[in-house]
Amino acid sequence: MCIRDRTRLARQINRIEDKLERVLQEIEELRDELKRGPAAGAPAEAEVDGAAGLSHEPPNGSGAANGASSKPASKSGSKSDSKAGSKHISEVP
Protein backbone atom coordinates (compact mmCIF):
# COMPACT_ATOMS: atom_id res chain seq x y z
CA MET A 1 0.00 0.00 0.00
CA CYS A 2 1.52 3.33 -1.03
CA ILE A 3 1.41 6.52 1.01
CA ARG A 4 -1.32 7.97 -1.18
CA ASP A 5 -3.55 4.96 -0.53
CA ARG A 6 -2.90 5.16 3.15
CA THR A 7 -3.76 8.85 3.22
CA ARG A 8 -6.93 8.26 1.22
CA LEU A 9 -7.97 5.51 3.59
CA ALA A 10 -7.22 7.68 6.60
CA ARG A 11 -9.34 10.47 5.12
CA GLN A 12 -12.25 8.08 4.63
CA ILE A 13 -11.92 6.92 8.22
CA ASN A 14 -11.86 10.56 9.32
CA ARG A 15 -15.06 11.27 7.43
CA ILE A 16 -16.73 8.25 8.98
CA GLU A 17 -15.55 9.37 12.39
CA ASP A 18 -16.99 12.84 11.75
CA LYS A 19 -20.37 11.33 10.90
CA LEU A 20 -20.27 9.01 13.89
CA GLU A 21 -19.45 11.92 16.16
CA ARG A 22 -22.43 13.88 14.87
CA VAL A 23 -24.71 10.89 15.44
CA LEU A 24 -23.23 10.42 18.90
CA GLN A 25 -23.86 14.07 19.76
CA GLU A 26 -27.49 13.69 18.66
CA ILE A 27 -27.87 10.57 20.79
CA GLU A 28 -26.32 12.29 23.79
CA GLU A 29 -28.66 15.23 23.37
CA LEU A 30 -31.67 12.93 23.22
CA ARG A 31 -30.41 10.98 26.22
CA ASP A 32 -30.03 14.22 28.15
CA GLU A 33 -33.58 15.19 27.27
CA LEU A 34 -34.83 11.80 28.39
CA LYS A 35 -32.88 12.06 31.64
CA ARG A 36 -34.48 15.38 32.37
CA GLY A 37 -37.79 13.53 32.18
CA PRO A 38 -40.64 15.70 33.39
CA ALA A 39 -38.52 18.82 33.05
CA ALA A 40 -38.03 18.00 29.38
CA GLY A 41 -41.76 18.33 28.92
CA ALA A 42 -41.80 21.63 30.73
CA PRO A 43 -40.60 23.84 27.89
CA ALA A 44 -43.31 22.48 25.66
CA GLU A 45 -45.91 23.28 28.30
CA ALA A 46 -44.30 26.63 28.88
CA GLU A 47 -44.57 27.32 25.19
CA VAL A 48 -48.27 26.55 25.27
CA ASP A 49 -48.68 28.67 28.37
CA GLY A 50 -46.47 31.31 26.86
CA ALA A 51 -48.83 31.52 23.95
CA ALA A 52 -51.53 32.29 26.44
CA GLY A 53 -49.37 34.96 27.99
CA LEU A 54 -48.54 32.95 31.13
CA SER A 55 -44.80 32.51 30.61
CA HIS A 56 -41.98 34.79 29.66
CA GLU A 57 -39.49 31.95 29.19
CA PRO A 58 -37.97 31.79 25.72
CA PRO A 59 -39.00 28.57 24.01
CA ASN A 60 -35.56 27.81 22.64
CA GLY A 61 -32.25 27.00 24.35
CA SER A 62 -32.09 23.83 26.33
CA GLY A 63 -29.41 25.28 28.57
CA ALA A 64 -31.44 28.36 29.34
CA ALA A 65 -34.35 26.19 30.35
CA ASN A 66 -32.22 24.23 32.78
CA GLY A 67 -29.96 26.71 34.44
CA ALA A 68 -32.66 29.15 35.26
CA SER A 69 -31.48 29.57 38.82
CA SER A 70 -27.92 30.66 38.22
CA LYS A 71 -27.04 31.19 34.59
CA PRO A 72 -29.54 33.77 33.47
CA ALA A 73 -28.52 36.00 36.33
CA SER A 74 -24.98 36.38 35.07
CA LYS A 75 -25.84 36.36 31.39
CA SER A 76 -28.73 38.73 31.50
CA GLY A 77 -26.70 40.98 33.75
CA SER A 78 -23.96 41.39 31.22
CA LYS A 79 -26.46 41.73 28.41
CA SER A 80 -28.31 44.58 29.98
CA ASP A 81 -25.03 46.22 30.92
CA SER A 82 -23.80 46.11 27.38
CA LYS A 83 -27.07 47.30 25.94
CA ALA A 84 -27.06 50.20 28.32
CA GLY A 85 -23.60 51.03 27.07
CA SER A 86 -22.12 50.72 30.56
CA LYS A 87 -19.21 48.47 29.67
CA HIS A 88 -16.47 48.79 32.20
CA ILE A 89 -12.95 47.71 31.38
CA SER A 90 -10.95 47.09 34.51
CA GLU A 91 -7.32 47.85 33.94
CA VAL A 92 -5.72 46.01 36.82
CA PRO A 93 -2.56 47.88 37.83
Least distance (Å) between residue 47 CB and another protein: 19
For another protein, the binding residue among 2, 5, 18, 42 (CB under 8 A) is 18
Pick from 30, 59, 56: nearest CA to 42: 59
3-state secondary structure of 73: helix
Q: Smaller CB distance to another protein: residue 38 or 60?
A: 60
Dist. CA 66–CA 8, nearest whole Å? 43
One-letter amino acid at 6 equals R
Dist. CA 36–CA 32, nearest whole Å? 6
One-letter amino acid at 30 equals L
Least distance (Å) between residue 54 CB and another protein: 24
Least distance (Å) between residue 38 CB and another protein: 18
The residues that touch another protein, with contacts defined as CB under 8 A, are 3, 7, 10-11, 13-14, 17-18, 21, 25, 28, 32, 61, 63-64, 66-67, 69-71, 74-75, 77-83, 86-92
